[in-house]
């Protein structure tokens, strides 16, 4: 790991901090059972990970974006770093080390549903104490609950400097449960909300007691949200879903981008929903992430 904190000045619209991995995406006719061999019809190699995909999303949507997280000094880490840079993501705050780059194997069925097997190694604490946060200027920050100690450092800095923080609350863990109480915007998966409160609706209400702005995404059923005592629901855009991998990451990246661009609440939810929907129309979470022009064209032809 780095022996000295990274002090490179960072001025961006959006900083995405947390998990990066390498994805091996296999198209399969069905998810295999015990001791079953299945032949894949297609294979895709690409970078992945919650915050990393969100960073690519924000960059493709026209925001100056950086990713802060860990990649190993290996072929997967080199590939991922190059891929981030090709999308215009600033990688000056990426930590490299001897621990392997996390790896995910994703099995995608014809209906777009997928099963994921991940290897994360021992890089969880790699980013703690590695940054001189006094050099950071950002309009919004997204965290995903990974690199927990660094996420706490980052949220504390953001609070002190009035930078809005969004958390991608994907899976309920003690670290994520602690972080939802420290951020301005909680965007939770249905699974997280159910585990947090017993059901999506109850989880939304319970999260709203600890965070000022809460969204629970419901996949093809859209989303529900609460701000204080105000509640609402937004349906999903109808698309031909080929692969749902990364759709949540794209939603979160678009949400952070919309905040940085000053979007009002209704516009923000519609924008992020469109980006998440478009991501489902291609195989591979990162491949499906749309550009700003593609989103604008989609919104111009879709009522919501």
Write the DSSP symbol of residue 100.
P
* DSSP-based three-state secondary structure for 303: coil
Q: What angle do CA 18, 21, 23 make, to 5 degrees?
A: 140
Q: Enter the pTM of the model.
A: 0.92
At the topology level, CATH places domain 10-20+48-102+123-301 in 3.40.1190
Mean pLDDT check: name the lowest of 31-35, 124-128, 277-281, 283-287: 283-287
pLDDT digits over 159-214, tens only?
999 999 999 999 999 999 999 999 999 999 999 999 999 999 999 999 999 999 99
Report domain extents, the chain. 10-20+48-102+123-301
Pairing of the two strands 165-169 and 10-11: unpaired
pLDDT digits over 89-107, tens only?
999 999 999 999 999 999 9
């Amino acid at each position: 790991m780095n022996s000295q904190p990274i002090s490179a000045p960072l001025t961006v619209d959006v900083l995405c901090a947390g998990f990066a991995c390498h994805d091996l995406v296999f198209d399969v006719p069905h998810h295999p059972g015990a001791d079953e061999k299945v032949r894949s019809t297609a294979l895709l190699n690409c970078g992945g990970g919650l915050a990393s995909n969100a960073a690519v999303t924000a960059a493709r949507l026209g925001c100056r974006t950086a990713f802060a997280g860990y990649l190993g000094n290996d072929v997967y880490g080199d590939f991922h770093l190059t891929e981030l840079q090709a999308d215009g993501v600033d990688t000056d705050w990426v930590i490299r080390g001897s621990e392997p780059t996390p790896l995910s194997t994703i099995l995608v069925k014809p209906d777009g549903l997928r099963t994921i097997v991940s290897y994360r190694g021992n890089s969880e604490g790699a980013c703690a104490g590695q940054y001189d946060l006094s050099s950071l200027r950002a309009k919004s920050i997204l965290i995903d609950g990974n690199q927990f100690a660094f996420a706490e450092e980052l949220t504390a800095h953001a609070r002190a400097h009035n930078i809005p923080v969004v958390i991608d609350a994907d899976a309920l863990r003690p670290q994520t449960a602690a972080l939802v109480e420290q951020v301005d915007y909680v965007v939770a998966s249905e699974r997280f909300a159910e585990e947090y409160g017993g059901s999506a609706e109850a989880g939304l209400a319970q999260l709203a007691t600890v965070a000022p702005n809460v969204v629970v995404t419901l996949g093809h059923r859209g989303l529900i949200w609460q701000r204080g005592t105000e509640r609402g629901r937004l349906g999903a855009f109808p698309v031909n879903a080929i692969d749902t991998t990364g759709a949540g990451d794209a939603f979160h990246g678009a949400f952070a981008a919309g905040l940085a661009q000053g979007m009002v609440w209704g516009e923000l939810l519609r924008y992020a929903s469109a980006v998440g929907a478009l991501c489902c129309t291609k195989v591979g979470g990162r491949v499906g992430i749309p550009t700003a022009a593609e989103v604008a064209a989609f919104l111009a032809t879709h009522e919501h």
